[in-house]
Amino acid sequence: MSVTVAEGFVAAGVHCGIKDDSGALDLSLVATDTALAVPAAAVFTSNRATAAPVEVSRTHLLATGGRAAAVVLNSGNANAATGITGRAHAERTCALVGEGLGCAPEEVLVCSTGLIGIPLPFDAIESGIGPLVAARAGGTGAGAAAAQAILTTDTVAKEVSVSAEGFTVGGMAKGAAMLAPDMATMLAVLTTDAAVGAADLGAALTIAVDRSFNTLTVDGCTSTNDTVIVMASGRRASPTTAALVETLTAACRSLAAQMAGDAEGATKVVTVQVTGASSPEQARTAARKVAQSQLVKCSLYGADAYWGRIVSELGSAGVTFDPDLVRISYGGVAVCVGGMAADHDQAAVARHLAQRHVEITADLGLGSGQATLLTNDLTPEYIAENMRTS
């Protein structure tokens, strides 16, 4: 289970001193084992306060026609809201990695995660590139080091491996807060040994992201740095479009679920499903309104089946809604039917809400549209983590 599981890729993670002097890994690399560029694609943040590494990576993919030999990532500093200097640092990072690997700077993509608005300590990165490139290797150990080096407030590394007929997808990600559609601060690097062109790879990734990271919301905040990158070595089979989409989606869903499980301060991972909407789009809008409601999240932390808050959020979501038709359930137990309180097994609901994984279903009773989002409860620990610069 590693970003190096797909044939043709190596990785590394080292300490360069961006975070502190504790020795924590903070500089990461994923590259082709030949240092040759391969088909690549990415999906970037929708936030218009775009970080310098996002701008540079987007430009590099355009310049190469969708090819990359490596991705270099740092944690501890987002290199966002850093102006011309920040962009120059991102470009120089790519150039240094390119020199070390023997590839063009444009064939290197760059990602950063951490504090916004603080100048990137570029001396640390510059000193770390040489050891990072030298440390690259195949195998799960190298992949695990790369995954560890991109963490910020995460408590565990997030890795995935999905095998399909004739090819494999591996990946790593970070994200514990500032997670909201679209996308669910988060970074993800995926690798595959499938033989696929950049255009088809990009189309498949867009679908996979929409079905995974775009269905995750921890706090309703969208990062300046969100990036999902995939590279394809072409070492194995050429998959069907459906197989490629399915496998990439499975990998992305696993990483999204791992992020939900590691959300800052969260005690619960919550699935919010809306059914019976007028359309899938309206179902997603309604589900997002419930999933991002601070009042609903507080109720979840308190294990309180206060379904009235859910009905209220649905009614204000801007979708077609009839309060006399709505049905709300916790863990499959209906607590509201026809917009009114329903007799139910209160002990069963209490047991469900006491669990780590909670399911809320809202049936609007209007059509066949449905959507599902992942979210968490809102806890004092989340506030403690975010009431100061972190």
Look at residue 2 and tell me if it is in a domain.
no
> What integer pLDDT is reported at residue 182 of this predicted model?
47
Average pLDDT over residues 305-321: 96
> What integer pLDDT is reported at residue 384 of this predicted model?
72
**294 class by beta-carbon count within 10 Å (0-12 exposed, 13-18 middle, 19+ buried):** exposed
Band of the pLDDT at 132, cuts 50, 70, 90?
Answer: very high
**224 with 292, same domain?**
no
Residues 6+ apart with CB under 8 A from 256: 184, 212, 213, 215, 216, 374
* CATH number for the domain harbouring residue 351: 3.10.20.340
Residue where a domain terminates, one of 236, 261, 286: 261
Please check the confidence at residue 327 and state whether its pLDDT lies above 80: yes
Residue where a domain terminates, one of 213, 229, 261: 261
Please check the confidence at residue 179 and state whether its pLDDT lies above 80: no
Please check the confidence at residue 180 and state whether its pLDDT lies above 80: no
Please check the confidence at residue 178 and state whether its pLDDT lies above 50: no
Look at residue 315 and tell me if it is in a domain.
yes
Average pLDDT over residues 294-319: 94
**327 with 247, same domain?**
no
How, if at all, do strands 187-192 and 227-232 pair?
parallel
Report the mean per-residue pLDDT for the chain. 92
Separation between Cα atoms, residue 135 and residue 132, nearest integer Å:
5
> What integer pLDDT is reported at residue 260 of this predicted model?
81
Is 185 annotated as catalytic? yes
Please check the confidence at residue 221 and state whether its pLDDT lies above 70: no
Question: pLDDT for 85-119, tens place per residue?
Answer: 999 999 999 999 999 999 999 999 999 998 889 99
Query: Rounded to two decimals, what is the model's pTM?
Result: 0.85
**287 with 254, same domain?**
no
Q: Any bridge partners for residue 70, and if so which?
A: 31, 108
Boundaries of domain holding 317: 269-386
310 sits in which H/E element? helix 307-315
Please check the confidence at residue 181 and state whether its pLDDT lies above 50: no
**234 with 184, same domain?**
yes
**161 with 134, same domain?**
yes
Look at residue 3 and tell me if it is in a domain.
no
Tell me which of 67 and 20 has the higher pLDDT.
67
Residues 6+ apart with CB under 8 A from 162: 168, 169, 170, 247, 250, 251, 254
**291 with 175, same domain?**
no
> What integer pLDDT is reported at residue 222 of this predicted model?
63
With vertex at residue 260, the alpha carbon angle to CA 29 and CA 180, rounded to the nearest 5 degrees, is 85
**113 with 218, same domain?**
yes
Question: pLDDT for 150-169, tens place per residue?
Answer: 998 788 899 999 999 999 99
Residue where a domain terminates, one of 228, 261, 294: 261
Question: pLDDT for 336-370, tens place per residue?
Answer: 999 999 999 999 999 999 999 999 999 999 999 99
> What integer pLDDT is reported at residue 374 of this predicted model?
87
* CATH number for the domain harbouring residue 140: 3.60.70.12
Band of the pLDDT at 184, cuts 50, 70, 90?
Answer: very low
DSSP type of residue 224: S
Look at residue 4 and tell me if it is in a domain.
no
Average pLDDT over residues 265-290: 93
Look at residue 368 and tell me if it is in a domain.
yes
Tell me which of 49 and 138 has the higher pLDDT.
138
**122 with 150, same domain?**
yes
Q: Kindly state the percentage of the chain with pLDDT values over 70.
A: 94
**238 with 298, same domain?**
no
State the total domains in the chain: 2
Please check the confidence at residue 183 and state whether its pLDDT lies above 50: no
Look at residue 1 and tell me if it is in a domain.
no
Separation between Cα atoms, residue 29 and residue 252, nearest integer Å:
19
Q: Kindly state the percentage of the chain with pLDDT values over 90.
A: 78
**204 with 307, same domain?**
no
List 185, 249, 285, 361, catalytic entry:
185
**68 with 217, same domain?**
yes
Least confident of 83-92, 189-198, 207-216, 309-318: 207-216
Average pLDDT over residues 245-272: 89
**103 with 144, same domain?**
yes
Please check the confidence at residue 218 and state whether its pLDDT lies above 70: no
